[in-house]
């Protein structure tokens, strides 16, 4: 039976057994220690979306004004001619740095993700600074611990306590949540929303959004009474007694004191720091402050954030001499001021997922940029492009998928041909290299040759991999280089952003889609979730239509009264398609960047709400 490997941007990186007789059927690989024989809710859509009649099958060339959706079909060969001509012309007139591959983790299989970079390194293009998801927290961890690679989640079973800090694992890391629930550990969830995870935890700390730093400082204040002092921060910590921090965080002193005592008593504990909570203006600093607290308790190895393995990424993606980086989060502003003339989009849907959509769309309309999109569906980004190439689904190519959570690499085997002229990322860039007249072997390397090279480098037995569908690989375990020197100064500059009369907009991850994927095939939750008390004060009822607005934009949607949402918060799930609903949450989100890695801060967005 062939194996698939889920290449979606997800902690769990599942191994899948795929049957292809009378249609495709998938199930979780029962021998995979993490996948453990079951798949998530989203996996229900994998086959449906692969065989959907909405899949793109032929290349499309724009035949009207940008964004109006008028296209004519063309052949793949003609499309590749157009792209290669455009690349040559752009390099001649402006230089290769005027070309930007705009890509992300829509497919994070190793070849699909890295192989196209060989091509862009060959031509010397600019690259993207991936700042949209977890990079602020990663950089913050590297700055204090020297690494963002934390513990192996299979060790969760040895913990006395597991803290999920600003993450909703019951939806976003379902197999990790299972590991935690199977352990005997006391489970904490720290989240302003009573999520499914919070409901399943032993303790839910429902703090106000953006108050994680005061919470940690007051824990340090309590710990100082028990002989755990914070020498670098003593003057700040003394200000955060639990009474004071209890008011700021909304938690009250007792909950903070109890949590501090559990951190002291229930060692070893693990803290899984979520990506969601660090997407705010002080997200990186919050992660750093939590890591600092862990060093004082001798638990600095016991965080979960990233995983890295001995994979040779320079072999996979090539090496670049000149790397002009364009920041992802505020792409509209970046494009406005620089000379990018050609954008090649693959593995991402930026006209859905990037904040401040109004600005981004305006800039793309105004500037003369040639946009190529490689995708499976006619996304918003595709609708605004000049040329669309149909992409393959993960059932249609061979690849390997690693994980940023656990220590297994999974094999993905091709089980069917792509429809029409749809083409995998690997094959597209081989053909494009040929069109450009590049004949260096690394640009034309076959996918199985790459797979063989990677498994040899990782010392994996190929027969075993073919038999099991996965292999265990070694986690990179860097020496910790602890550097607490800047933290005090950074914390002195910290303030809790707030705006009188405004709600804080949180745009969380939904249970149904993966990013924007599958949101075109089914209608998912597009409500504005508001606490019933807040709604009552504004005379708003369940289902009422509301206008939500700020300096970035305005949307109209319906309200869902939801007592799991804290006061002063509006929650709208990310990922719905503007081309279907006329809006998504990113028409409201801020593209301000954090200090750390110019990272995203969408969850620091403020909005006004009015009944329509
Ligand atoms: N079902 C599903 N799973 C996914 C994905 C998907 O699209 N769908 N995407 C994957 C990707 S790309 C990512 S990045 C991860 C994201 O995984 P998570 O980090 O779990 O995702 P979010 O829902 O964005 O954020 C988690 C929680 O942070 C809380 N939060 C917001 N602000 C604050 C705050 O100031 N403090 C604290 N303590 N909490 C706060 C929110 O209420 C939310 O419940 O999920 C991955 N898994
Ligand atoms: N408001 C708000 N916005 C957010 C977030 C938030 O918390 N709030 N979270 C952010 C986060 S954490 C993330 S990770 C991003 C995710 O944002 P994106 O990186 O844009 O991810 P997706 O929306 O899943 O889009 C991936 C696209 O890749 C396509 N694709 C899939 N497989 C392949 C393939 O093999 N080849 C090619 N060429 N294309 C393929 C899919 O069809 C899809 O259109 O969204 C961010 N946006
Ligand atoms: S999305 Fe995540 S949990 Fe679901 S099948 Fe893929 S890797 Fe597994
Ligand atoms: Mo993400």
Per-residue pLDDT at 357: 98
C-alpha distance across the termini of the chain, in Å: 55
CA–CA gap between residue 262 and residue 219 (Å, rounded): 10
Q: Which ligand 3 atom lies nearest to the CA of residue 40?
A: 4
Whether residue 173 contacts residue 11, with contact meaning beta carbons closer than 8 Å, is answered with yes
CA–CA gap between residue 479 and residue 493 (Å, rounded): 30
Nearest ligand, measured from the Cα of 171: 1
- Residue span(s) of the chain under CATH 3.40.228.10 come to 135-304
pLDDT band at 606 (very low <50, low <70, confident <90, very high): very high
DSSP assigned state of 160: S
| Mutation test residue for ligand 2: of 348, 396, 550, the one with most atoms within 8 Å of CB | 348
Per-residue model confidence as pLDDT tens digits over 473-515: 999 988 899 999 999 999 999 999 889 999 999 999 999 999 9
Per-residue model confidence as pLDDT tens digits over 163-215: 999 999 999 999 999 999 999 999 999 999 999 999 999 999 999 999 999 99
Which residues in 132-226 belong to E strands, given as ranges? 161-165, 186-190, 203-205
Span from the CA of 269 to the centroid of ligand 2 (angstroms): 32
| Mutation test residue for ligand 2: of 55, 376, 580, 603, the one with most atoms within 8 Å of CB | 376
- Residue span(s) of the chain under CATH 2.40.40.20 come to 496-611
> Would you state the structure tokens that stand for residue 288, as one six-digit string?
């750093």
Span from the CA of 203 to the centroid of ligand 1 (angstroms): 18
| Mutation test residue for ligand 3: of 5, 6, 511, the one with most atoms within 8 Å of CB | 6
Whether residue 7 contacts residue 399, with contact meaning beta carbons closer than 8 Å, is answered with yes
Of 497, 490, 595, 495, which Cα lies nearest the Cα of 233? 490
Span from the CA of 273 to the centroid of ligand 1 (angstroms): 10
Of 396, 364, 349, 438, which Cα lies nearest the Cα of 122? 438
pLDDT exceeds 90 at position 144: yes
Per-residue model confidence as pLDDT tens digits over 456-474: 999 999 999 999 999 999 9
| CB of 106 shorter than 6 A to ligand 2 | yes
Span from the CA of 581 to the centroid of ligand 4 (angstroms): 23
Nearest ligand, measured from the Cα of 105: 2
Per-residue pLDDT at 515: 97
Q: What share of the chain is helix, strand, coil (3-state, %, to 5)?
A: 35, 20, 45
| Mutation test residue for ligand 1: of 211, 282, 406, 509, the one with most atoms within 8 Å of CB | 509
Nearest ligand, measured from the Cα of 401: 3
DSSP assigned state of 506: E
Give 51-114 as a 3 state SS string. Answer: CCCCCCCCCEEECCCCCCCCEEECCHHHHHHHHHHHHHHHHHHHCHHHEEEEECCCCCCHHHHH
CA–CA gap between residue 430 and residue 428 (Å, rounded): 6
Q: Which ligand 2 atom lies nearest to the CA of residue 586?
A: 1
Of 287, 286, 296, 149, which Cα lies nearest the Cα of 221? 296
Q: Whose CA is nearest to atom 6 of ligand 3?
A: 6
Q: Whose CA is nearest to atom 4 of ligand 1?
A: 172
CA–CA gap between residue 573 and residue 562 (Å, rounded): 14
Span from the CA of 73 to the centroid of ligand 1 (angstroms): 39
Of 266, 272, 263, which Cα lies nearest the Cα of 160? 266
Per-residue pLDDT at 478: 80
Span from the CA of 175 to the centroid of ligand 3 (angstroms): 9
Nearest ligand, measured from the Cα of 211: 1
pTM: 0.98
Whether residue 187 contacts residue 202, with contact meaning beta carbons closer than 8 Å, is answered with yes
- Residue span(s) of the chain under CATH 3.40.50.740 come to 3-131+310-472
% of the chain residues with pLDDT over 70: 100
Q: Which residues pair with 547 in a beta bridge?
A: 556, 610
CA–CA gap between residue 580 and residue 575 (Å, rounded): 12
Quick one: fold of 3-131+310-472? Rossmann fold (3.40.50)
| CB of 100 shorter than 6 A to ligand 2 | no
Q: Name which residue leads in pLDDT, 522 or 89.
A: 89
Quick one: fold of 496-611? Barwin-like endoglucanases (2.40.40)
Span from the CA of 272 to the centroid of ligand 2 (angstroms): 23
Q: Which ligand 2 atom lies nearest to the CA of residue 105?
A: 19
Per-residue pLDDT at 568: 97
Q: Whose CA is nearest to atom 4 of ligand 3?
A: 40
Per-residue model confidence as pLDDT tens digits over 318-376: 987 767 999 999 999 999 999 999 999 999 999 999 999 999 999 999 999 999 999 99
Q: Whose CA is nearest to atom 7 of ligand 3?
A: 13
Place of tokens 């792409």: 331
Integer angstrom CA distances of residue 512 from 179, 460, 517, 518, 589: 21, 34, 9, 8, 21
Per-residue pLDDT at 319: 87
Per-residue model confidence as pLDDT tens digits over 263-273: 999 999 999 99
Q: Whose CA is nearest to atom 32 of ligand 2?
A: 107
| CB of 585 shorter than 6 A to ligand 2 | yes
DSSP 451-487: HHHHHHHTT--HHHHHHHSEEE-PBP-PPP----TTH
| CB of 132 shorter than 6 A to ligand 2 | yes
Give 339-359 as a 3 state SS string. Answer: CCCEEEEECCCHHHHCCCHHH
The domain 135-304 having CATH identifier 3.20.20.70: the answer here is no
CA–CA gap between residue 414 and residue 404 (Å, rounded): 23
What is the distance, to the nearest Å, from the Cα of residue 179 to the centroid of all Cα atoms in its chain?
A: 22
Per-residue pLDDT at 360: 98
Task: Reduce the DSSP state of residue 608 to 3 states and report it.
Answer: strand
Per-residue pLDDT at 62: 98
Q: Please, is 85 exposed, middle or buried when counting C-beta atoms within 10 Å of its C-beta (0-12, 13-18, 19+)?
A: exposed
Per-residue model confidence as pLDDT tens digits over 246-285: 999 999 999 999 999 999 999 999 999 999 999 999 999 9
Integer angstrom CA distances of residue 38 from 17, 446, 464, 473: 10, 32, 22, 22
């Amino acid at each position: 039976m062939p194996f698939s490997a889920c290449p979606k941007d997800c902690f769990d990186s599942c191994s899948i057994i795929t049957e292809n007789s009378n249609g495709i059927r998938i199930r979780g690989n029962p021998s995979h220690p993490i996948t453990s024989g079951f798949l998530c809710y989203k996996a229900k859509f994998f086959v449906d979306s692969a065989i959907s009649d909405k899949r793109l099958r032929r290349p499309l060339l724009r035949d009207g004004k940008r964004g109006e959706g008028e296209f004519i079909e063309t052949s793949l060969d003609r499309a590749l001619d157009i792209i290669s001509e455009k690349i040559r012309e752009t390099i001649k007139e402006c230089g290769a740095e005027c070309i930007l591959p705009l890509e992300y983790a829509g497919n994070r299989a190793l070849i699909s993700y890295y192989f196209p970079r060989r091509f862009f390194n060959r031509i010397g293009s600019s690259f993207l600074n991936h700042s949209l998801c977890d990079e602020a927290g990663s950089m913050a961890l590297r700055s204090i611990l020297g690494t963002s690679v934390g513990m192996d989640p299979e060790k969760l079973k040895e913990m006395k306590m597991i803290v999920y800090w600003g993450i909703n694992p019951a939806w976003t890391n379902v197999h990790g949540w299972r590991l935690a629930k199977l352990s005997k550990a006391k489970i904490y969830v720290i989240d302003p929303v009573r999520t499914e995870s919070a409901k399943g935890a032993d303790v839910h700390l429902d703090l106000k959004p953006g108050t994680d730093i005061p919470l940690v400082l007051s824990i340090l204040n309590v710990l100082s009474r028990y002989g755990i002092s914070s020498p670098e921060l003593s003057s700040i910590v003394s200000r955060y007694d639990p009474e004071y921090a209890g008011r700021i965080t909304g938690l009250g002193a007792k909950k903070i004191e109890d949590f501090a005592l559990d951190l002291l008593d229930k060692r070893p504990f693990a803290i899984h720091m979520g990506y969601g909570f660090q997407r705010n203006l002080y997200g990186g600093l919050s992660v750093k402050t939590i890591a600092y607290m862990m060093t004082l308790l001798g638990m600095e190895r016991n965080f979960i954030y990233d995983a890295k393995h001995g994979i040779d990424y320079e072999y996979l993606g090539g090496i670049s001499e000149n790397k002009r980086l364009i920041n992802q989060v505020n792409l509209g502003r970046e494009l406005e001021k620089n000379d990018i003339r050609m954008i090649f989009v693959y593995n991402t849907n930026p006209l859905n997922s990037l904040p401040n959509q109004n600005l981004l769309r305006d800039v793309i309309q105004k500037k003369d940029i040639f946009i190529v999109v490689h995708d499976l569906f006619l996304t918003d980004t595709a609708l605004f492009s000049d040329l669309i190439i149909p992409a393959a689904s993960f059932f249609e190519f061979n690849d390997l998928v690693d994980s940023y959570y656990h220590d297994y690499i999974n094999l993905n085997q091709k089980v069917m041909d792509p429809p029409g002229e749809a083409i995998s990322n690997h094959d597209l860039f081989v053909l494009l290299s040929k069109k450009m007249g590049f004949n260096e072997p690394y640009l034309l390397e076959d996918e199985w040759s790459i797979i063989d090279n990677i498994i040899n480098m990782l010392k994996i037995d190929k027969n075993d991999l073919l038999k099991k569908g996965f292999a265990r690989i070694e986690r990179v375990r860097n020496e910790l280089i602890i550097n607490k020197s800047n933290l005090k100064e950074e914390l002195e500059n910290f303030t809790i952003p707030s705006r009188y009369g405004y709600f804080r907009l949180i745009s969380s991850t939904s249970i149904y889609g993966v990013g924007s994927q599958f949101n075109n095939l089914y209608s998912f939750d597009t409500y504005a979730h508001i606490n019933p008390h807040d709604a009552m004060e504004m005379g708003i009822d369940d289902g009422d239509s509301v206008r939500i607005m700020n300096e970035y934009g305005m949307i109209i949607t319906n309200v869902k009264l939801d007592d799991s949402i804290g006061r002063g918060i509006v929650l709208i799930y990310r990922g719905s398609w503007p081309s279907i609903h006329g809006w998504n949450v990113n028409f409201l989100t801020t593209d301000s960047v954090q200090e750390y890695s110019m990272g995203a801060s969408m969850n620091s967005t403020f909005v006004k709400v009015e009944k329509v």
